[in-house]
Structure 1
């Protein structure tokens, strides 16, 4: 189930991983040892039971376990380290899609991680789950196991664990401390995850694409200097939500200024939903609240709020250091540029995104209508008609062309078709006789 690798070089590690993937082959060519299988965890969005705080700009979050820096050649690496007194200790990795996890490689931190409690990874557990770790934090015994390492783990040791053949396909991978009898923490310099895709895989159409912004923030005099917080950082594939780890894009405009990012998708795309990773900040500044996501087909376009086709506007607060999902209006055509723009009244401006993702629909023929009961949209009606039921109203909207939503009055069977490609802002009103519907991809 596992191998003790000690402090190893990449070629030795690659050879051991290839043995897992090519278990039926009697010979592995030496040149293949230069080709490491893809580490699924690199840059992924992560969760942790707690994170040790060093200062106002440095927390040892679980992202340090997936940043690609394993600490083997560094006596003082930045490693994911939990906080004493916050049991149980665990970290979780969101792979974004389902995978059959074959193996994990653990790079342990120092025994004394600079805290008054030592690092204790002895008998650690690796498990998998398909339940969101935001909603269901891992509880030992309540998730499927990859395996358990039934040995002591020493300072800066490297352990390769092969998962059980019965490990089910899963999206989330969990590393959990077996026990903490004296309040010990866990310190992990890197957690690498290897596996094969399972089922249909969603692809982020923004990753590593060209990106621009309305302005660029640059801060001087910080010991962990990142230089300029360029727009390219919002699509670099790293979900680190701490600004001074240098993976967040940041504009310099103040409140009321344009404050936007724009990504060239380099092809025409329909967009089903976006994922927005916000900066972890204290105190909370509410810079991302009510952000807009929109589209354009114009090269060198300078976005102006409410004047471009809108995927949607986030409603309310974006929790600090979180990843939020927003579905797009499924009646929109395809576009080549995606826009993220700050709300006009957001705190002090200084719009920041740590990662922005977008995904196309798996099928353009499957839709779901989302209902808001006792709500009426006003100011965007383009046609009224009598129908037999709400289903006929849906069909009329799809056939009309340019219809973005409907209002439906059940008592009179009155159907109103609305057109608002640039969004509808604050035009929803309470009305007990009506229901408002928008369409999303299923």
Structure 2
């Protein structure tokens, strides 16, 4: 184990130097605090589920402490845990801290001959199915209760963003994992979360009064602590308590000026399907102490529709915006109630200011923001004209009439109209 550890640390040190990686420590567990997926999660009570996050919370119970472990539910086959590392890594090895049997479950914890695999397909869309992802390795034996085991990846394991821990095909019972650590080296470009541990504030702060909680009040700093734990009482979510239609915002001081490419927002579970996060805004300002008012600040974008409780969603930003220091996340005015919360906010800067892509929305038209109209021969010519004119956030293009309309809406727009004769294009970083 020591030889593998040293080899991986040397490889990581070389990769950090080669790629000029900032914020990644040599030999660190790259799975700590990441967003996780699980096939199922055992429910303790109305405020606690033993989700897969407990396998990446940094508490492995090896010291005999009574920390929580990830537990899947018997009968919900197949059993697996998935990790989103956010960047692509060459995985060196994984360490699994096995849990123990739960006396109130009818079967036993079964990690015997477990599988570790990797994938570059989103686990939101492609949940792990044995044989459909690349294999790191399979553990060659029985795993006892509370055992700590290391599994070294094959040298042929391809670089990947997602890491999977899954039972073998002949396993029975459920999976109890107290910690799942992953060690590897960055592959290609490493993108740093520019909001991590930066100063954060909010329009209000929720304080739990009905349930004893060691983490109340739920200040905004908890939304940028690097832990994607979606359960409020685990102390990793920022939470407001304004009235419906009130300010309901978080603001993060990035402490430098960035052109932001995209933002991710992790929502909390346990609000019983209420539409608190639907249609939320992400925007920017360069004014210290600014009090955000909807549609009066430069907008990265507005999420369209429902946000699934406990999910992580990604929003691409308008690439026409300037660089900014302060990021704003704000609830929609027509949300179900004023309890706006985020269990993790992340932002990633543009890799280059020279590469853009125009995202097409067919049969759509934006009205009310037009600043110029011109005749062109094709949509491509329309896009070329935009670059020459400058200052344009989107275009409407009519293929039949060859009409190109330039729109400007730095602070966002109200919505698109359906129109079969038009297509709407918005500019984003590539």
Task: Tell me if both proteins adopt one fold, taking TM over 0.5 as the criterion.
Answer: yes
Separation in 1, partners of 2:168, 2:421: 56
Alignment partner, residue 394 of structure 1: 383
2:76 equivalent to 1:86 = yes
Alignment partner, residue 437 of structure 1: 425
* Alignment counterpart, residue 137 of structure 2, candidates 125, 132, 147: 147
* Alignment counterpart, residue 280 of structure 1, candidates 250, 265, 269: 269
Alignment partner, residue 8 of structure 1: none
Is the 8 Å Cα contact of residues 8 and 184 (structure 2) preserved in structure 1? no
3-state SS of 2:395 partner: strand
2:232 equivalent to 1:243 = yes
**TM-superposition CA deviations, 1:302-324 (whole Å, max 9, x none):** 00001001111000000111011
- TM-score if structure 1 supplies the norm length? 0.91
Paired residue total: 417
Is the 8 Å Cα contact of residues 8 and 185 (structure 2) preserved in structure 1? no
Counting only pairs closer than 5 Å after superposition, residues 22-41 of structure 1 correspond to structure 2 as 37-41=27-31
User: How much does 1:370 deviate?
Assistant: 1.4
Is the 8 Å Cα contact of residues 8 and 27 (structure 2) preserved in structure 1? no
2:38 equivalent to 1:43 = no
Is the 8 Å Cα contact of residues 269 and 336 (structure 1) preserved in structure 2? yes
Separation in 2, partners of 1:75, 1:312: 44
2:102 equivalent to 1:106 = no
User: How much does 1:220 deviate?
Assistant: 2.5
Alignment partner, residue 265 of structure 1: 254
* Alignment counterpart, residue 328 of structure 1, candidates 296, 300, 317: 317
Is the 8 Å Cα contact of residues 329 and 404 (structure 1) preserved in structure 2? yes
2:406 equivalent to 1:410 = no
Separation in 2, partners of 1:75, 1:122: 24
Is the 8 Å Cα contact of residues 9 and 26 (structure 2) preserved in structure 1? no
Q: Which one is further off, 216-225 or 141-150? A: 216-225
Segments of structure 1 that go 5 or more residues without pairing to the other structure are: 4-13, 24-34
**TM-superposition CA deviations, 1:296-341 (whole Å, max 9, x none):** 0000000000100111100000011101111111111111111000
The alignment's C-alpha RMSD in Å is: 1.7
Alignment partner, residue 188 of structure 1: 177
Separation in 2, partners of 1:155, 1:284: 36
Alignment partner, residue 10 of structure 1: none
Q: Which one is further off, 115-124 or 57-66? A: 115-124
Separation in 1, partners of 2:87, 2:157: 16
User: How much does 1:386 deviate?
Assistant: 1.7
Alignment partner, residue 17 of structure 1: 5
**TM-superposition CA deviations, 1:264-294 (whole Å, max 9, x none):** 1111111111111111125111110000011
Q: Which one is further off, 219-228 or 171-180? A: 219-228
Alignment partner, residue 9 of structure 1: none
Is the 8 Å Cα contact of residues 119 and 163 (structure 2) preserved in structure 1? yes
2:321 equivalent to 1:339 = no
2:43 equivalent to 1:53 = yes
Counting only pairs closer than 5 Å after superposition, residues 170-209 of structure 1 correspond to structure 2 as 170-179=160-169, 183-209=172-198
* Alignment counterpart, residue 379 of structure 1, candidates 368, 379, 398: 368
3-state SS of 1:150 partner: coil
Is the 8 Å Cα contact of residues 111 and 143 (structure 2) preserved in structure 1? yes
Separation in 2, partners of 1:180, 1:83: 17
CA distance 1:258–1:317, change in 2 (3 Å): same
Alignment partner, residue 11 of structure 1: none
Separation in 2, partners of 1:378, 1:112: 59
Alignment partner, residue 168 of structure 1: 158
CA distance 1:243–1:228, change in 2 (3 Å): same
3-state SS of 1:272 partner: strand
Is the 8 Å Cα contact of residues 407 and 416 (structure 1) preserved in structure 2? yes
Segments of structure 2 that go 5 or more residues without pairing to the other structure are: 12-24
Alignment partner, residue 349 of structure 1: 338
Is the 8 Å Cα contact of residues 8 and 183 (structure 2) preserved in structure 1? no
Separation in 2, partners of 1:372, 1:19: 49
2:138 equivalent to 1:137 = no
CA distance 1:223–1:381, change in 2 (3 Å): same
User: How much does 1:19 deviate?
Assistant: 5.5
